[in-house]
A and B are shown apart, each in its own frame.
Chain A
Amino acid sequence: MRERFPDLVFHPLPGALPATRVETTPTQLVTLCRSVREAGGRLVTLWGEDLRDEGLGFRLCVALDANDALILAELRLSADNPVFPDLSGTFPSADRLQRAVRDLVGLRAIGGDARPWLRHGAWPTDVFPLRRDAPASSPAAPAEYAFVRVEGDGVHEIPVGPVHAGIIEPGHFRFSVVGEKVLRLEERLGYTHKGIEKRSEGLTATDGARLVARVCGDSTAAYAWAYAMAVESATGTTPSPRALQLRAVLLERERLANHLGDLGALGNDAGFAFGLAQFSRLKEDLLRANAAVWGQRYPMDAIVPGGVRGDVDADAARMLTANLDAIALELARLREIYDNHAGLQDRFLDAGRVSPELASQLGMVGLCARASGSTRDWRNARPVFPYTHDACATVTRSQGDVAARVAVRFDEAVASIALCRGWLAALPAGDLSVPLGTLGADALGVGGVEGWRGPVFVAVRLDAAGRIRRCHPHDPSWHNWPALEHAIIDNIVPDFPLINKSFNLSYSGHDL
């Protein structure tokens, strides 16, 4: 990138994740995005900051996943007219991110979709919660949301949610159908918006870890590690190899737990309750082992900035390994049952297909992208210790249907077990936790790891006292939710739950 943009000044950021920050003008931002896109890179996230109290107006930050490094492009916006060029033409998934930035910080993309995204009328249109001068509370201002209408003979709409018949997270799905065939699906999310970014303001780095670990319960290790990495990057801290290896064990166990749960749920959604019972049992064994070692089934406070909390001694390591061995054995047998079950395969095959071309065009990430031909995995593409030493096999399928997403889950579960066993057998010595270093000048830090859904990214800016000024956690679901709208087209309505489950995207992590 440096060669292509001689007029831009790239400042490398310290930390485990190779990243550079660069200040741009609107035109430069657009060309930078385009060239990243043309080189096969993608958008990670974008967020806004209110710097008016420092006399700097607003700032839009765009994190780009270029091939050589992560680029943090920063765009200064004026205090009275904060507008920026629409990036959704280059990165389709930027559309909802831009709408969220407008709802929360009031930075507007010129052109693009004018409808709100996270604002559901809980605050008025002229209030922006993430601005420094936002009132602590504001009156509700409910408004109609204009769904895109599909016209035609026999077309009708099926509104589903946000309250569902089962106990699942809230999201609204608007289907336009002819008979049972889906012509269009439009999602509306934001029902679990909790204001986590606002809540993080002013917290200490340690309290921030507790908050970010709770953004999305099923990805707590990924969020906690990404956050810890960001704080360590801002403070120039390097945790010990032992701590890093234990973090990786936690991350891979989290991946395994979720894959087991999903595989069971996918069987159940196809009417094969036997699968749910068996996989739930395996997942439960795994979670109980977690509880025995870390004191929490989903270890939410195990990863802290500077290291980890709670050691794994030789006995615990043996117990965890035995648990993994038992799971590996049963996983292989259950896979055989799934693969040989004609009825199940009939439901899985060809349902909810996302072609590799479409996946790369939409900028899909993580597990779902790898089921559609992508090989991108931050564990290999942006490795941090211990992934730098033990490369994980990249799992990929090109069919892009439910069956492919099931196969990727099976393969990744097997790979995670192998990685965990290796790490548990050879835990290096070292401190569990090291004190955080001193703050840099403009203490910005970024961190990111490949969670089970895809890359989880966290950016943190600390003030002089070491308190959080702005924290932006980003869930990979942002990029895959739009792909779900495409996956369902031309499928039938009753197949949607199965297809949706095969994506299993986050509501809580997306809505923040």
Chain B
Amino acid sequence: MNDILFGGFQALLAIAAAPLLLGWVDQCRAWLQNRRGAGVLQPYRVLRKLMRKDAVIAHGASPLFRAAPYVQFGAMCLAAAIIPVVSITAPLAAAADTIALVGLFALARVFIALAAMDIGTAFGSLGARREMLIGFLSEPALLMVFFTASLICQSTLLPTIVGTLAHRELVIYPSLAFAGVAFTMVLLAENARIPIDNPATHLELTMIHEAMVLEYSARHLALIEWASALKLMNFTAIGLALFVPWGLTAAAAGPQGLAVGIVTTSLKLASAGVALALIETVSAKLRIFRAPEFLATAFLLAVLGLLVHQLLGS
């Protein structure tokens, strides 16, 4: 019972704090560009603004178009309940393993891509096509990263993986180093960040994720924006759990342990945000046909991690 309460709290925390992480990354980007920035709370203001507006929906839209934002947001919330963010004990961790997690991300992607094509504008199909190109290349790379960790820990369940990794002695595992780089690349691609996509662009012809959601407004758009922020949170949390697992608490640690877990996780998320902003500031966006090369490299690195583990056993 305690476990469930504990886990539920951490999932809600992740959902509530997701826009904050996005705001922090944007703020860091602004600072790095010598701009003042809109503040870390800006994503919340955007959500509030969108929630207050009336939704406008295209005449030809099918129920799928209305349902997709809820499906996407739901999938991301479910993922947040699977991933150990603050505590190793996630409420639904036993119900779904890493492979199911990748499937969950794919489900959200498929729905939003279908919704983009549903209203039949040129940009929707354009974005959906590009999103699928990115998706079918990043998913195998992500799976390979998970497999590397799974092989080390002999399990595909995230809590088991994280628990095992956190309790090993502090040495550098070459296999995890490869997997870590691969995961970072996948994170950039999956979350529509530079160098693959530009979340801040207003140029409709270059968009990937934004092109798919151009026709959404008000609460639907708010849910999509929130889901995107949550996706970034989920990916960052997965990365932190796999590659810097220290500081995560167990349910048994009680409220005090939870507080420690929240503080360490916040610090880790903040550092990850700075790193993400730094990567985005120093790079330009790739030509879209370089994206397959980028993701193929990620896949290759993940496979190398797997091989290194098999050959060296580390």
Contacts and interface: CB of A to CB of B under 8 A. Distances in A.
Interface of A: 157-160, 164-167, 180, 267, 269-274, 276-278, 281, 341, 343-344, 346-347, 492-498
A27 to B, nearest CB: 46
Most buried by B among A269, A276, A492, A494: A494
B288 A492 contact: yes
B297 interface: no
Contacts of B122: 157-160
Given A165-B214, A270-B285, 6 more contacts: A180-B288, A271-B198, A271-B201, A271-B284, A277-B34, A494-B287
Nearest to B202: A166
Contacts of A269: 203, 206
A495 B204 contact: no
Given A166-B202, A274-B33, A277-B33, A180 B284 contact: no
Contacts of A274: 32-33, 281-282
Given A347-B287, A494-B287, A273 B281 contact: yes
Contacts of B194: 271
A347 B285 CA distance: 8
Contacts of A344: 284
A341 B123 CA distance: 30
6 contacts: A165-B202, A165-B203, A273-B29, A277-B34, A347-B287, A492-B288
Nearest to B285: A271
Task: Bin the interface of chain B by size.
Answer: 20 to 34
Contacts of B204: 160, 164-165
A498 B201 CA distance: 12
A44 B205 CA distance: 33
A493 B195 contact: no
B284 A493 contact: no
A271 B283 contact: yes
A494 B198 CA distance: 12
B35 interface: yes
A158 B287 contact: no
Nearest to A167: B202
Contact of B283 (A276, A343, A492): A343
B286 interface: yes
A interface, by DSSP: helix, strand, loop or mixed?
helix
Contacts of B214: 165
A273 B202 contact: no
B33 A492 contact: no
B7 to A, nearest CB: 38
Contacts of A273: 29, 33, 200, 281
Contact of A497 (B200, B203, B287): B203
**What are the 7 tightest A-B residue pairs by CB atom distance, in nearest-first order?**
A271-B285, A166-B202, A343-B284, A497-B203, A277-B33, A494-B206, A272-B284
B82 interface: no
B179 interface: no
Nearest to A341: B284
Contacts of B29: 273
B178 to A, nearest CB: 23
B123 to A, nearest CB: 8
Nearest to B206: A494
A164 B201 CA distance: 12
B203 A493 contact: no
Contacts of B32: 274
A269 B285 CA distance: 9
Interface string B20-58: 000000000100111100000000000000000000000
A274 B281 CA distance: 7
Most chain A beta carbons < 10 A, residue from B34, B202, B203, B281: B203
B276 interface: no
B279 to A, nearest CB: 11
B34 A180 contact: no
Contacts of B290: 346
B126 interface: yes
Contact of B34 (A278, A343, A495): A278
B31 to A, nearest CB: 11
Contact of B205 (A167, A270, A341, A497): A497
B106 to A, nearest CB: 23
Given A273-B200, A274-B32, A281-B34, A158 B284 contact: no
Contacts of A498: 206
A277 B204 CA distance: 21
Nearest to A157: B122
Given A271-B194, A277-B34, A281-B34, A160 B205 contact: yes
Interface string B204-242: 111100100010000000000000000000000000000
A281 B288 CA distance: 30
A341 B282 CA distance: 9
Given A273-B29, A273-B200, A343-B195, A493 B281 contact: no
A192 B198 CA distance: 30
A299 to B, nearest CB: 28
Given A271-B198, A273-B33, A497-B205, A343 B126 contact: no
Most buried by A among B29, B283, B287, B289: B287
Contacts of A271: 194-195, 198, 201, 283-285
Contacts of A164: 202, 204
Interface string B185-203: 0000000001100101111
Interface string B171-191: 000000000000000000000
Contact of A180 (B33, B123, B289): B289
